[in-house]
Amino acid sequence: MSAIPRVLTIAGSDSSGGAGIEADLKTMTAYNCYGMTCITGLTAQNTLGVQAIYPVTDQSFLEKSLEAVFSDVGVDAIKTGMMSTVATVDTIAAKLKGYQDGNNRLNLVVDPVMVSTSGANLIPEEAVDKYIDILIPLARVFTPNLIEAKYILEHLEKRRAGELLVSNKFEINSLDEMKAMAKELHERLKCETVLLKGGHIAFNKNLEVEKKPTKEGRVIVDVFYDGIEFHILQSDFIETKATHGTGCTLSSAIACNLALANRKEKKTLVRAVTDSVHYVQEAIRTAHTIGHGFGPVNHMHTLQHRPFVTGKFVDYLLGHPKVRENWERYVGHEFTRRLAHNTLDIKSFKFFLEQDYIYLKHYARCYGLGIYKSDDMETITKGAGVIEHIAHEMQLHVGYCQEFGLTIKDLERVQEGQATYAYSRWLLEVGAKDDWFALQVALSPCLFGYLEAAARLKRDPQAVSGHDKNPYWKWVETYTAPDFGEAADEGREILEAGVLKHSVDKIEMLVDIFATATRMECEFWDAALEYGKKE
- CB-CB contact of 304 with 504 (8 Å): yes
- Report the b/e string of 294-324 with b at 16+ CB within 10 A: bbbbbbeeeeeebebeeeebbebbbebebbe
Report the amino acid identity of residue 483: D
Choose, from 148, 401, 521, 522, the residue flagged as catalytic.
Answer: 521
Helices (H), 197-323: 246-260, 266-285, 313-319
CA trace torsion 127, 117, 220, 287 (10° rounding) = 110
Q: Are 142 and 182 in contact (CB under 8 A)?
A: no
Q: What is the CA radius of gyration of the chain?
A: 34
d(CA 57, CA 143): 26
Question: 388, 446, 486, 508: which one is catalytic?
Answer: 446
Collapse the DSSP code of 287 into the 3-class scheme (helix H, G, I; strand E, B; otherwise coil) and give the result.
Answer: coil
Distance CA 8, CA 21 (A): 10
| Phi and psi at residue 110, to the nearest 5° | -105, 115
Instruction: Tell me the C-alpha distance between 223 and 273, whole Å.
Output: 10
Distance CA 419, CA 335 (A): 15
Torsion-angle region of residue 342: left (phi > 0), alpha (psi -120 to 50) or beta?
Answer: left
- Asked about 177 being catalytic, the answer comes back as no
Active site residue 33: no
Cβ contacts of 84 within 8 Å, gap of 6 or more: 12, 40, 41, 53, 55, 122, 123, 127
CA-to-CA dists, residue 33 to 24, 40, 78, 216, 296, angstroms:
11, 21, 12, 37, 21
Cα three-residue angle 311-312-314, rounded to 5 degrees: 115
Q: How far apart are the first and last CA of the chain?
A: 77
Active site amino acids: 446, 521
